[in-house]
Amino acid sequence: MIFILDASAMIAFLRDEPGAEVVANALFDPESTCYAHALNLCEVFYDFHRTAGLENASRAIADLSIAGVIQDANLAPDVWRAAGILKSVLRRISLADCFAIELTGRIQVSS
């Protein structure tokens, strides 16, 4: 199964907050693949940087990579335009999460 992780899911996993077990199950299931857009990883990074400093922020991103999160950093025009359209329609969703939604659609099409 393929999972697209947003920042809140990754932060919950890293901080062992509610929902961490669900994310861990996805990450450590050998039949699953977990992706995150670079903008969602940036949200994780700045959250940890703000609360715990640069070293902890860098460690958080490294831990996600070690756990198997695959980074998608595609910012091609068709990608950011699709995310921009989503943001204009889904106003209450963060721009980074619009990239996660776009990534979901792109991965579903390629699977």
DSSP string, 35-86: EEEHHHHHHHHHHHHHHH-HHHHHHHHHHHHHHTEEEE----HHHHHHHHHH
Tens of pLDDT, residue by residue over 38-63, are: 999 999 999 999 999 999 999 999 99
Q: Give the separation between CA 84 and CA 90, rounded to whole angstroms.
A: 10
pLDDT on residue 36: 98
The count of domains in the chain is 1
Q: How many beta carbons lie within 10 A of that of residue 5, not counting itself? A: 25
Q: How many beta carbons lie within 10 A of that of residue 58, not counting itself? A: 13
pLDDT on residue 102: 97
Q: In the chain, which residues have pLDDT < 70?
A: 111
Number of residues that make up the chain: 111
pLDDT on residue 110: 76
CATH of the domain at 18: 3.40.50.1010
Q: Rounded to two decimals, what is the model's pTM? A: 0.93
The domain in which residue 37 lies consists of: 2-110
pLDDT on residue 19: 96
For residue 65, give both structure tokens.
Answer: 């990579």
- Per-residue b/e over 32-47, b at no fewer than 16 CB within 10 Å? ebbbbbbbbbebbbeb
